[in-house]
Amino acid sequence: MSEALVASQAPGTDIVAPGASGARQFWRRLRAQRAALVAAVVVALLVLVALAAPLLTAIEGQDPTTYHPSLVDSARGGVPVGSFGGTGADHWLGIEPQTGRDLFARLVYGARVSLGVALAATLVQVAIGVLVGVAAALGNRWVDQLLSRITDIIVALPLMIMSLALLAIVPSSFPRPVLVALVIGLVAWGNTAKIVRAQTLTLKQLDYVSAARLSGWGTWRIARRELLPGLAAPVITYAALLVPINITVEAALSFLGVGVKPPTPSWGQMLTAADVWYQAAPQYLLLPAGALFVTVLALTVLGDGVRTALDPRAASRLRVGAGRKQEAKADQGGAR
Amino acid sequence: MNGLGGFLLRRVLGAVVTLFAISVIIYVVFYVTPGNVAQITCGPRCSPAQVQQVAEQLHLSDPLYVRYWHFLQGIVVGQDYSTGTSVQHCSAPCLGLSYQSDQQVTRLILAKLPVSLSLVFGAMVLWLILGVGTGVLSAWRRGRLTERLLTGVTLVGVATPVFVIGLVLMIVVCGELELLPFPQYVALTDDPEQWAWNLLLPWLSLALIEAAAFARLTRASMLETLAEDHIRTFRAYGVGERSIIGRHALRGAFAPVIALNANNFGGAVGGAVLTETLFGLPGIGQEMVHAVNVVDLPVVVGMVLVIGFFVVVANAVADVLYAVADRRVVLT
Amino acid sequence: MSDSQKAPSRGLVDVRDLSVEFGELRAVDGLSFRLERGAALALVGESGSGKSTVASALLGLHRGTGARVGGSVTVAGVDVRQASDDALRRLRGAKAAMVFQDPLSSLDPYYAIGDQIAEVYRVHTRASRRAARARAVDVLDRVGIPDAARRSRSRPHEFSGGMRQRALIAMALACEPELLIADEPTTALDVTVQAQILDLLHTLREETGMGLLLVTHDVGVAAESVDEVLVMRHGRVVEHGPVKAVLRAPAQPYTRELLAAVPRVDAPRAPSQTSGEVVLEATGLRREFGRGKRAFAAVDDVSVTVRRGETLGIVGESGSGKTTLGRMLVGLLEPTAGEVRFEGHARVGVRPSVQMVFQDPVSSLNPRRSVGESIADPLRARGERDEQSVRGRVAELLERVGLEAAHYDRYPHEFSGGQRQRVGIARALAADPRVIVCDEPVSALDVTTQAQVVALLGELQRELGLALVFVAHDLAVVRQVSDRIAVMRRGRLVESGPSDEVYDNPRDPYTKQLLAAVPALDPEVAARRRATRREPAVT
């Protein structure tokens, strides 16, 4: 549902990098935004946690799948024994009601799933989108028509429903997180393809591409040397905004019980039964919800920052507090 | 008006083609799945005889395109299912039989559809008002504290998963503050007042999240429009700030908002799964989850088609509204 | 500052010691001038001279932006800097109205033109909606838009460029202002349309007694329309005086330089040495775009020849097909019919011997590559692997076009427009071509830079014996460079021949019309031409 949001926030198709020498300028502009920097640090931390999950749980001495039935009071329906839902030296963040599984371990391994699946799904979307988009823009009219029709259909397919449906028919023997990533990727590459096609069409018209043809280079060489670098900016911007959306989608699917299935922990999964337990073990609800919130927020802010760094002209208008000062600068540029 | 009329026609034709293509894809994907289709469709508790019957009813011995043809026929004209002893007529549009729940898929969906539509329409009105309103306010008060606050709030809104907001609302409003009872669905035709009260929390949860996205989009579009040359023209003619924002800058946000709304509306009919699940609303989304869990193929296929239909229609409507909002599109 | 408050300002516009700063940039520095009621003044300058900033300052458009404005500006009795927001709003559009450069982006694309004009009218009067719309139709009719009542319901993109500019002028007229400020009103228009718009402004001034402040980079436009001229450079006044005096006998060296660089339509050209050998020949070229009912021919049955050592000028307005023709000559576009022969052999597609110099200095060079690499491209495409020899050749070329070998590793954004065009020329030369097709190579440049690049092209032609095809819309520039001319209109060739012949004795009525529309640098000549143009013209 919010995929369209990203589509509508996609960078304009006229990003011809205004003469900046690429990477260095980008980093400089990114560093200049405090919010994005903070977000980047948070994201880096999350990635670290996810990668170091085995290490962290080893330090704690627990793992995400072992049941601890002794720590829950089955007489009272599975409420954790001990204060604060079973928090203590052994279980840093408490335990899961009914099963007694360690929450810290589940949370930390859940980070792996969330980030991993979202990243993989984004990669699939970008890969297919770029391929289809470039082919449509460079091919003849029939190829373009065909690919554009296919793209339209993919865009029309409702994400949640198709994911639900596809996840139903594949047997459980297939590794679930990989499947979820693939499904999300296959169902939602449409908008990426549209953006790539539009940008490639614009780039194709630029004079320096014509000049490359006049120099004697062949189509593939031109596509590689002149067009692909021009696509980097909009694709990266779009991908940066896709990642938080994919995290949300994976969480939603797991919440519904069709995504990542137990015993593999996932933040969405942890939320499924949480509403019943919030009084006895509030962290059961708050931890995964909080983790999701922080992750998506940090990634969204970072994504905004990336977009600003790559297209300073549009971004200067969108910056909070930009107001009328920026309009003056825009006017000045037009003044002769 | 010929341009607009021709444009309309082309879009409608395009929508029909897309719908057709979707139906083919869905059908192929699902009925060409690995495993014994008849077995899966019938369900785990079927005897071999029943499975055989299902296989006949689904024309599984025929080649794929013949099966698809029967499927299409069913949608357009209706189909008859014989069980050897009796004949069940499934009137158009017939989306098949759900063997596991022993119902016609179309009837099943039609029973659940009003719930989902109630949810989505109500939420849509709310999210448009809240979202666009907030966006306009942000753009009007740009550069000031109000804008910073609103931007922060919308950012939080975008990052919060819908079920978290719903949960929080339920816990706070129903559990702690006890302002409202826990929602239970009441049909509009039964009791409009109760219908609205019970849907209030679900509407709010869905609307708040979507409103955040709309607020961001509206603000961004308006700010982009404000930097364009024609705004400078009207300022140079002494047009007041209120007219500039309300008449000219807002107009620039129409097209993107319409496009986004179509997408979100179409997707939300089925995609409001989370909200339905959370609040226990017997809508399409929840039924879909159930069908997926028990692998009730005909229901899954039928639902995807119905929702796909809504998405395509919503997009076609949006395309038309888009063209009315921005006449330049008609020329392409 | 208190001085200007004491001395009464009698004129329509009274600017004293105006300065405008954007951050560290001082766009206008100590400018003063007066404009009497009903008089016309032109601010002339190249890009970066600050002339548009001055125009914006007259309406106080910098208020609320980060710009710092100093000095005093009084327009129609209103002290723009000190006025309240309300007073300023009352000034804008009602007493002084501005006409902007690009009419397409200056109008709201979503609303009908009549509605936009009506909106402006209602801001300043208490008129009802109906009265305002009637006024809009009235004023659209006055600026010469046919069927004004119906067209007032159209949106801007449904108008042609000239009509749009008229509509903008109509908006300016709606509240009967005392001053009309026109910021480059004709730069985006074809030369014939430009003439019409300038005539319109002249007529309106005669009828209403409005004052006119015209901002332009085109000295000819100034000569046509105003009584006084103020030449600006880097935000300062260089010269100020009656237009006849300044244009005939400029006092300042910069003004003289500026005027010398302006190409003239009536100046004969030094003939070039040509061997007469035909190097490029196009026969019966035709190119269609679109499909079915919407198909149209951008180029229709055009045949031209290009000889060694000679320059062929292809001139035409927008929509004439000259750019399409240029691309077909080079092989970037396939003709739908007809053929192009190079040195006698018919060929399809691009060839290193026929190269192109492009119009837009921004998009003609890959921003991610250094200029040296861009120039080296044709060499590398040919298979040159030896780094030393490649670098050496590029260094040679860089120096040949007036840049330095050390510029190899710099990026395009570090260069000015004129320098980037030189890089483009160097790149074209790297392929050792026999023919270079130049597609509007100087249109985006200032007049002084234009002259330099044109001179460079001439030098290279003489030295290397190149054949040049010069495609442009500016008749004067084309005259300067071409030996032979082809005039195009709506895809067809209407006239061709040696340039002196075509310019001095045009045969086709369209060519005559084109030549009559070119702004003259002498105000008296301009007035005479205007009288001739008063005959009905073909739009």
Q: Which of B235, B238, B240 sits opposite C94 (nearest CB)?
A: B238
Query: Which B-chain residues 237-266 have CB contacts (< 8 A) with chain C?
Result: 237-240, 243, 247-248, 251-252, 254
- pLDDT, tens digit, for every residue of B147-189? 889 989 998 888 887 877 888 888 788 777 777 777 777 777 7
Residues in chain C: 539
Strand partners, C296: C289
Judging contacts by C-beta atoms under 8 Å, the chain A residues touching residue B141 are none
Read off the pLDDT of residues C47-92 as tens digits, 9 standing for 90 and up: 889 999 999 999 999 988 888 999 999 999 899 999 999 999 999 9
Contacts of B257 (CB under 8 A, 6+ apart): B128, B132, B214, B217, B218, B221
The residue count of chain B comes to 332
- Asked if C65 and A331 count as a contact pair (C-beta separation under 8 A), the reply is yes
Q: Give the residue-averaged pLDDT of A90-107.
A: 78
Element (H, E) at C239: strand C236-242
pLDDT for the residue numbered A9: 40
Is residue A62 a contact partner of residue A104, using CB atoms and an 8 Å limit? yes
Residues contacting residue A187 through CB under 8 Å, at least 6 positions apart: A154, A157, A159, A162, A163, A166
CB within 8 Å: A335 and C363: no
CB contact under 8 A, C109 and B328: yes
Residue-level pLDDT at A77: 65
C303 has a pLDDT exceeding 90: yes
pLDDT digits (tens, 9 = 90+) for C134-190: 999 999 999 999 999 999 999 998 898 889 999 999 999 999 999 999 999 988 888
Residue C474 phi/psi, 5-degree rounding, is: -85, 110
Residues of C in CB contact (< 8 Å) with B are 59, 61, 88-94, 97-98, 100, 102, 105-111, 119-120, 123-124, 155, 157, 171
Pick from C66, C374, C411: CB nearest A21? C411
Which two tokens mark B140?
A: 């009007």
For chain A, give the mean pLDDT: 78
CB C231 within 8 A of CB C255: yes
Collapsing DSSP states into helix, strand and coil, what is residue C227? Answer: coil
Distance CA B288, CA B284 (A): 6
- What are the residues whose beta carbons fall under 8 Å from the beta carbon of B261, sequence distance 6 or more? B124, B128, B214, B318
* Mean pLDDT of all residues in C106-121: 93
d(CA C448, CA C34): 28
Please provide residue B96's backbone torsions phi and psi, each rounded to the nearest 5 degrees: 110, 180
**Chain A CB within 8 Å of residue C125 CB:** no
Cβ–Cβ below 8 Å for B292 and A330: no
pLDDT at residue B135, rounded to an integer: 93
Residue A327 has a pLDDT of 35
Distance between CA atoms of A94 and A92, rounded to whole angstroms? 6
pLDDT digits (tens, 9 = 90+) for C150-162: 999 999 988 988 8
Are C127 and C135 spatial neighbours (Cβ–Cβ below 8 Å)?
A: yes
Please answer yes or no on whether B155 and A2 come within 8 Å at the CB atom.
no
Cα angle vertex B284, ends B283, B288, to 5°?
Answer: 125
Which of A30, B116, A336, B236 has the alpha carbon at shortest distance from C233? A336
CB atoms within 10 A of CB C162: 22
Reduced to 3 states (helix: H, G, I; strand: E, B; else coil), residue C212 is strand
β-partners of residue A79 are A73
> Would you say residue C4 has pLDDT above 50?
no
More confident residue, C69 or A100: C69
- Locate tokens 């075509």: which residue? C502
Does A275 contact chain B (CB < 8 Å)?
yes
pLDDT number for residue A330: 34
Choice among A80-84, C401-405, C483-487 with the minimum mean pLDDT:
A80-84
Q: Which residue in C61, C97, C119 is closest to B235 by CB distance?
A: C61
CA distances from A336 to B212, C23, C234 (A): 40, 17, 11
pLDDT at A315 over 60: no
The phi-psi region of residue C97 (left if phi > 0; otherwise alpha if psi is between -120 and 50; otherwise beta) is beta
Q: Between B18, B273, B307, which is nearest A152 by CB?
A: B18
Tell me whether residues A335 and C377 touch, CB distance under 8 A.
Answer: no
What CA–CA distance (Å, rounded) separates C399 from C408? 11
User: Beta-carbon neighbour count of residue C79 at 10 Å?
Assistant: 17
Residue C471 class from Cβ within 10 Å (0-12 exposed, 13-18 middle, 19+ buried)?
buried
Whole-angstrom distance, CA of residue C72 vs CA of residue C398: 48
**Contact list, C48 vs chain A (CB under 8 Å):** 336
Check residue A75 and give its pLDDT: 66
The conformational region for residue C360 under phi > 0 = left, psi -120 to 50 = alpha, else beta, is beta
- In this prediction, residue B57 carries a pLDDT of 75
User: In chain A, which ranges are E strands?
Assistant: 72-73, 79-80
Which has the closest alpha carbon to B264: A126, A244, A6?
A: A6
Say if residue B83's pLDDT is above 70: no
What is d(CA C5, CA B64) in angstroms, rounded to the nearest whole number?
A: 91
Q: In what order do the strands lie in the sheet with C345-346?
A: C296-307, C278-289, C337-342, C345-346
B18 interfacial to chain A (CB closer than 8 Å): yes
Alpha carbons A148 and C283: distance in angstroms, whole number: 38
The partner residue sitting opposite C93, judged by closest CB among B237, B243, B326, is B237
Separation between Cα atoms, residue A271 and residue A296, nearest integer Å? 16
pLDDT beyond 70 at B35: no
Q: What is the DSSP letter of C238?
A: E
Q: Tokens in use for A301?
A: 């802010």
Which chains have 3 or more CB–CB distances shorter than 8 Å to chain A? Answer: B, C
Coil, helix or strand at residue A277: helix
Strands C435-439 vs C354-357: parallel, antiparallel or unpaired? parallel
Q: Please choose, from the candidates C161, C134, C158, C128, the residue with its C-alpha nearest in 3D space to the C-alpha of residue C148.
A: C134
Q: What phi and psi, each to the nearest 5 degrees, are found at residue C211?
A: -85, 155
Q: Which two tokens stand for residue C476?
A: 């004067």
Q: What is the ipTM of this complex?
A: 0.84
Read off the pTM.
0.82
In sequence order, which residues have a C-beta less than 8 Å from that of residue C519 and are 6 or more positions away? Answer: C194, C195, C198, C218, C220, C221, C223, C224, C526
A277 and chain B: CB distance < 8 Å anywhere? no
Decide: C32 and C26 in contact? Cβ < 8 Å. no
Distances (CA, A) of C410 to A37, A209, C368, C398, C441: 30, 20, 10, 12, 22
Q: Tell me, rounded to whole angstroms, the distance of Cα C207 from its chain centroid.
A: 28
Token pair belonging to B222: 């308006």
pLDDT of residue A74: 67
Q: What is the rounded CA–CA span in Å between residue B313 and residue B252?
A: 24
Q: What is the pLDDT of residue A221?
A: 87
**pLDDT class for C299, splitting at 50, 70, 90?**
very high
Q: Which chains touch C (3 or more CB pairs under 8 A)?
A: A, B
Q: Which of A19-23, A168-172, B98-102, B286-290 is predicted with the least confidence, judged by mean pLDDT?
A: A19-23
Taking an 8 Å cut-off on Cβ atoms, the answer to whether A328 and C65 are in contact is yes
Q: Is residue B221 over pLDDT 80?
A: yes
Q: Is the dihedral of CA C512, C514, C516, C521 positive or negative?
A: negative
Asked if residues C119 and B239 have their Cβ atoms less than 8 Å apart, the reply is yes
Pairing state between β C68-75 and C78-79: antiparallel
Q: Which residues of B touch C109 (CB under 8 A)?
A: 230, 326, 328
- DSSP states along C482-511: -SEEEEEETTEEEEEEEHHHHHHS--SHHH
- Per CB-CB distance under 8 Å, the chain A contacts of B259 are 4, 8
Q: What is the pLDDT of residue A331?
A: 33
With a CB cutoff of 8 Å and minimum separation 6, the contacts of C365 are A208, C371, C374, C412, C420, C423, C424
Of C147, C81, C65, C88, the closest CA to residue C114 belongs to C147
Higher pLDDT, C365 or A60: C365
Spatial contact of A241 and C382, defined as CB atoms under 8 Å apart:
no
CA distance A142 to chain C (A): 14
How many CB atoms neighbour CB A84 within 10 A?
12
User: How many B/C residue pairs have CB atoms within 8 Å?
Assistant: 71
